[in-house]
Amino acid sequence: MKILDIAFKDLTRSFRSVFAIGMMVIAPLMLTGLIYFAFGSVSSGTPSMPAVKVGVLNLDVLPADAPLDVTLGDNVRSMFFDESVASWITASDYADEASARAALNNQEIGIAVIVPQNFTERFLSGDKDVQVLVISDPTLSIGPAVVQNMVTMMVDGVSGGGIALETFMSRQQTNGIAADPTQIPSWIERYTTWYADFQRKLFHHPDQAAFVVVAPSASDTEATKPVQKMMGLTMAGQMIFFAFFTGAYSMMSILREDEEGTLARLFTTPTERTSILTGKFTAVLITVILQGLVLMIAGYYAFGINWGEPSGVALALTGQVIAATGLGVLLIAFVKNSRQGGPVLGGGLTTLGMLGGLFTANMPNAMPAAMNMIANFTPQGWVLKSWRMVMDGQSAVDLLVPFAVMVGMGIVMFVIGALTFRKRFA
C-alpha cells in the first residue's frame, strides 16, 4: 500500500510541474505540430497554395474554311476558366495586349496568356512558328511553370490529334476508302472533347484517368496517405524521444528528494527502503504509460495518425514503457545530483535518440547503413523499429522479437540501476 502512496505522491508532483507536463506532452505535440503544419496542406489532399492569377487574351478567330466549330484559342482560354481548376487558378479576360501587360506589371495577375489573332489558321496550315505567348511575373516560379505546361499539353494534344487525323486519312486513301470531309469537324470535336476530359481527369482524378500508376509493393495506405504515414513516424519519433526523457526525468525525483531531505525523512519512517524505491519506480512506469497514451490519442485526433492494430500497439507501447523506465533508472543511478542530471539527461538521451534514428524516423532510408546498424544497440532504435512495424500493418506476432529485445534491455538496465540505488542509499 505504501508503494502506491509513494507512487501517487510522485505522480501528483509530476502533474503539478509545468516543466514536466511541457516535456511530457506539450513539447512532442508542438514539435509534431510544427512539422504537420509545414506539410499539412499536402497531407490533407487539398492544397492551400494561393490561387494563380492568369490573365487570358484570346485574339484568335475562326478561319472561314476551318473544319472546327470553335477556335483553338477558345480551347486554350476555356482550360483556365474550367471549374475543375477554379480552386487554384483565377482567370480573367483581357481585351488587348497592353491591358494584359499593364495588369501583369501592376501584379493584378501573375501570368498573361496571349493567343495570337490567327492562331487556329496558322496551326492548321502547319506553321511551326505559331506561338501562344506566356508572360509571367519573374518573382513567380511554380505558377508560370504550371500554366506553361497546361498550354503545351493542350497544343501537343491538338497536334497529336492533327497527326492522328492525317494518318487516318492517309490510311483510308491507301485502302481505297473515300473519306467524307463533312465528318472531319465531328471527328476533331470528339477528339478534342475526349482529350480535354482525359487531361482533366489525369490532373484532378488520377484514379479515373486512362492510365493509373501503382507501385507494385505499395499498400493502400502508402499509396493514398503517404504524408499521414510520414506524420505518424514523425510523431512516433517524438513520442519515443520524450518517453525516454520522461522516464529519466521522473526518476530524477529521487535525487530531488535526496536534496530536499524528504528521502532521508522517508527512511526514518517504518517503511522499507525497497518499498520506497519500488514506489518511485512505479510512479515512473505509470507516468511513461500515461504519456504514451495521451500522445497517441492526441496524435490520432490532431494529426489523423493511424497507429496500427491494437494488439501491436499494446506490445510496442509496453516495450517502450519498459525500455524508457529501465534506461531512466540506469542513467539516474549514476548521476550525483539533480544539477548534474539536466546536462546528463539532455546530452545522453539526445545522443541515444539520434543514434536510434528518432530524429530521422520518417526517412529511414536517409540513414547510412552503419547508422542503422548502430541503432540496433540503442533501446530507442528498437522501440522505433517496433512502431514502424506496427504502423506498416505488421501483426503482433511479427513484433515479438523487437518486443523481447526492448523488454530484455529494459529489465537489464532497470536491475543495474536499482541495485546501484540500493547500494547508494543503504
Partner 1 sequence: MNAIEVKNLKKSFGDLQAVQDATFNAESGEVLSLLGPNGAGKSTTISMLSGLLAPTGGDASIMGHSVTKEPEAAKASLGVVPQDIALYPDLSARENLVFWGKMYGLRGAALKSRVDEVLEVIGLSDRQRDHVGKFSGGMKRRVNIGAALLHKPAVVIMDEPTVGIDPQSRRHILDNVKELNRQGMTVLYTTHYMEEAAELSHHIAIMDKGRIIAHGTHNKLLKMVGEQTRIDIMLNTEADKILSAWQKIDGVSKIDSLDGKVTALVDDSNRVLPRLFDAAAKADVRITSVDIQEPNLETVFLHLTGRALRD
List of residues contacting partner 1 (CB under 8 A)? 1-2, 5, 9, 12-13, 16-17, 260-262, 264-272
Complex with partner 1: residue 228 or 282, whichever CB lies closer: 282
Q: Could you tell me the three cell numbers for 266?
A: 522517508
Quote the least distance from Cβ 419 to partner 1, whole Å: 19
Distance set, CA 215 to CA 135, 210, 219, 221, 245 (Å): 37, 16, 9, 12, 39
Dihedral (Cα; 272, 274, 275, 277), 10-degree rounding: 130
Complex with partner 1: residue 255 or 296, whichever CB lies closer: 255
Quote the least distance from Cβ 420 to partner 1, whole Å: 19
Complex with partner 1: residue 12 or 107, whichever CB lies closer: 12
Quote the least distance from Cβ 285 to partner 1, whole Å: 20
How remote is the C-alpha of 22 from its chain's centroid? Answer: 24
Complex with partner 1: residue 11 or 153, whichever CB lies closer: 11
Complex with partner 1: residue 180 or 259, whichever CB lies closer: 259
Quote the least distance from Cβ 381 to partner 1, whole Å: 35
In 10 A of CB 134, how many CB atoms? 18
Q: What is the DSSP letter of 358?
A: G
The residue to which cell 524516423 is assigned: 361
What whole-number distance in Å separates Cα of residue 374 and Cα of residue 381? Answer: 8
Quote the least distance from Cβ 142 to partner 1, whole Å: 53
Q: What is the DSSP letter of 365?
A: G
What whole-number distance in Å separates Cα of residue 317 and Cα of residue 288? Answer: 9
Complex with partner 1: residue 5 or 96, whichever CB lies closer: 5
Quote the least distance from Cβ 346 to partner 1, whole Å: 23
Quote the least distance from Cβ 289 to partner 1, whole Å: 22
Please give the single-letter amino acid code of residue 212: V
Complex with partner 1: residue 7 or 151, whichever CB lies closer: 7
Stretch (H or E) spanning 34? helix 27-44
What whole-number distance in Å separates Cα of residue 304 and Cα of residue 281? Answer: 33
125: left (phi > 0), else alpha (psi -120 to 50), else beta?
A: alpha
Q: What is the DSSP letter of 23?
A: I
Quote the least distance from Cβ 2 to partner 1, whole Å: 6
Please give the single-letter amino acid code of residue 302: A
Complex with partner 1: residue 5 or 180, whichever CB lies closer: 5
